[in-house]
Structures are given as structure tokens and as C-alpha cells.
């Protein structure tokens, strides 16, 4: 059985801290906002797996660093990045992140500290989602980049804002700001960036007041919703994205 000591220092893109049962996962690139790429995607499944194995994580807060949640690419998939092997692995990793996140049996709070233009679903799948006022949501990683939206965004966004709003959002590159995200029910509270983590911890304390098994059953009961949707459509979406990337690579090479 995992204990915090065995995994707290293993990660390069995720800083972990636990106080009184409340674990904070802070995504980052050398301390500043995480810049997305293959390496964080290889690391995150293991973060989620380890966090989920350790029963002493009783509530989990997921947040970013600096002014963005995740908004920029470190290594924009280069031409060679589109080769089939890597993409297959990337998609397998993406699946493992989502499965791993849903398998964490502690309630999760997302504290979205700013623009979430890449993998916003990591935050949106959490039970309670708070956003800083400077947050914007966008899907920068798919249609705009020549790829079909299949890594989970095609599931999470229709569930949150309705299928017609979501298709427009995913196919046109629309940006949604914090106020609109609140109106649409994507996030549940919008706060000044400075107050974000304080409020997250306050809610975490509040969630701690029921027995652990009850907390975990509440989480599981509500996660049924996402598990079913992921089971139904994630595999097809990931495969679409994989095939799309091969096609894009072939065209670019030709």
C-alpha cells in the first residue's frame, strides 16, 4: 500500500503537498505554469495511480501554477511527433490519466488558476470546480491544430454545456471566459486569483466532515455519471484522434 513518502518526490510536473488528509496536486513546469507536452503526459498517469492507491489522501485539490492552468505547449508536436508510435502511446497515456483520476476515491476540488486551453477536462472532471477571474476555456489542441477532438473533450464539453454549444466551441475555437463558464455551470464559483486556494481549502475542510467511507461512496456515486460516458465514447474518440494524426502526418510529409 502506497504511502506519501514513496511517491511525493517522484514527479517533475506535479508538486504534491498533504495537510490533514488534504492532498494538493499542483501542476507546473519548473515552478511556473505547466507547458504541455509528451513528458507531462507520461507522468500524469503515474501521479493519478499513486494518489489513488494511497487511502490517506482524503480530499484532493488539483491546481496549476502561475497564471495559467494549462495554456501553452512546450513541445508542439513536431512533424516527427506525429509518427504513429508516439501518438498511440500518448493516447494510451491520456486514457490512463482519465481512468486514474476517476479511480481516486477521495472527493476532488479543481482550483483553475487561469486559462485552461489544453486538457481542461482534468479540472472539469473534479467534483467541485472553482475558477480564478482570469480563467478562460478553449480547446486549442484539436480542430484548430488539425486533429479530431477525441481525447475526452468531446465527452466532457457536451455534458457540461450541451451538445450544440459544445460542437460550436470545439469546432470554431471559441473562448469562454470565467463569467460565462459560471453561467453555463462549467464552474461553480469564480474568485479573485488570490482567494482561490483559500476557498478550495475551505471547501476541502467542509468535505472532510463526513466519515471517510461515506465521502468515498459519495464520490463513487456521482462518478457513475462520468464512468459511463467515458466507457461509451472515449475509446472511439482516442482512436479517431490517433488515426487523424497519422493522416495529418502523412499529408504533411507528402
3 counts as binding its own copies under rule CB under 8 A: no
Report CA Rg, the chain: 18
Q: How far is the CB of 231 from its own copies (least distance, A)?
A: 4
Binding to its own copies by CB under 8 A, coded x per residue (else -) over 186-215, reads xxx--------------x--xx--xx-xx-
164 counts as binding its own copies under rule CB under 8 A: yes
Sites for its own copies among residues 13-32 (CB under 8 A): none
- Total of chain residues touching its own copies, rule CB under 8 A: 79
Strand partners, 29: 32
Q: How far is the CB of 75 from its own copies (least distance, A)?
A: 17
The interface region with its own copies, picked from 33-41, 63-71, 139-147, 190-198 by CB under 8 A, is: 139-147
Q: Which residues contact 31 (CB under 8 A, 6 or more apart)?
A: 65, 66
Q: Which residues contact 95 (CB under 8 A, 6 or more apart)?
A: 234, 235, 238
Instruction: For its own copies, give the closer residue by CB, 16 or 59.
Output: 59
Strands 22-27 and 14-19: antiparallel
Catalytic residue set: 121
Strand partners, 35: 72
The interface region with its own copies, picked from 8-16, 23-31, 131-139, 181-189 by CB under 8 A, is: 181-189
Instruction: For its own copies, give the closer residue by CB, 65 or 90.
Output: 90
Backbone angles phi and psi of 35, in degrees to 5: -105, 125
Sites for its own copies among residues 140-159 (CB under 8 A): 142-143, 146-150, 154, 158-159
Rule CB under 8 A: choose which of 36, 49, 69, 82 binds its own copies.
49
Residue 145 is given by DSSP the state G
Sites for its own copies among residues 106-135 (CB under 8 A): 107, 124, 127-129
Distance, CA of 92 to CA of 102 (rounded, Å): 16
Distance, CA of 30 to CA of 27 (rounded, Å): 10
Instruction: For its own copies, give the closer residue by CB, 174 or 193.
Output: 174
Q: SS3 helix, strand, coil % of the chain, rounded to 5?
A: 50, 20, 30
237 counts as binding its own copies under rule CB under 8 A: yes
Query: Phi/psi zone of residue 30: left (φ > 0), alpha (ψ -120 to 50 degrees), beta?
Result: left
Can you list the positions of beta strands (E) in 163-202?
A: 176-177, 189-191
78 counts as binding its own copies under rule CB under 8 A: no
222 counts as binding its own copies under rule CB under 8 A: yes
171 counts as binding its own copies under rule CB under 8 A: yes
47 counts as binding its own copies under rule CB under 8 A: no
Amino acid at each position: 500500500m502506497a504511502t506519501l513518502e514513496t511517491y511525493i518526490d517522484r514527479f517533475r510536473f506535479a508538486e504534491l503537498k498533504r495537510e490533514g488528509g488534504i492532498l494538493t496536486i499542483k501542476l507546473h513546469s519548473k515552478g511556473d505554469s505547466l507547458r504541455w507536452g509528451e513528458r507531462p503526459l507520461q507522468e500524469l498517469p503515474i501521479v493519478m495511480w499513486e494518489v489513488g492507491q494511497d487511502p490517506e489522501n482524503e480530499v484532493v485539490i488539483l491546481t496549476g501554477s502561475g497564471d495559467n492552468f494549462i495554456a501553452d505547449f512546450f513541445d508542439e508536436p513536431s512533424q516527427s511527433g506525429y509518427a504513429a508510435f508516439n501518438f498511440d502511446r500518448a493516447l494510451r497515456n491520456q486514457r490512463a490519466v482519465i481512468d486514474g483520476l476517476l479511480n481516486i476515491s477521495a472527493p476532488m476540488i479543481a482550483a483553475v488558476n487561469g486559462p485552461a486551453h489544453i486538457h481542461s477536462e482534468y479540472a472539469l472532471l473534479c467534483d467541485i470546480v472553482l475558477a480564478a477571474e482570469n480563467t478562460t476555456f478553449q480547446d486549442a489542441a484539436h480542430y484548430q491544430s488539425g486533429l479530431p477532438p477525441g481525447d475526452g473533450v468531446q465527452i466532457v464539453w457536451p455534458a457540461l454545456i450541451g451538445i450544440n454549444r459544445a460542437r460550436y466551441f470545439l469546432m470554431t475555437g471559441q473562448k469562454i471566459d470565467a463569467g460565462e463558464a459560471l453561467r453555463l455551470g462549467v464552474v461553480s464559483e469564480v474568485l479573485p486569483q488570490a482567494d482561490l486556494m483559500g476557498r478550495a481549502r475551505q471547501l476541502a475542510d467542509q468535505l472532510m466532515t463526513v466519515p471517510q467511507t461515506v465521502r468515498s461512496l459519495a464520490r463513487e456515486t456521482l462518478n457513475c455519471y462520468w464512468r459511463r460516458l467515458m466507457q461509451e465514447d472515449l475509446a472511439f474518440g482516442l482512436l479517431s484522434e490517433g488515426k487523424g494524426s497519422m493522416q495529418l502526418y502523412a499529408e504533411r510529409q507528402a
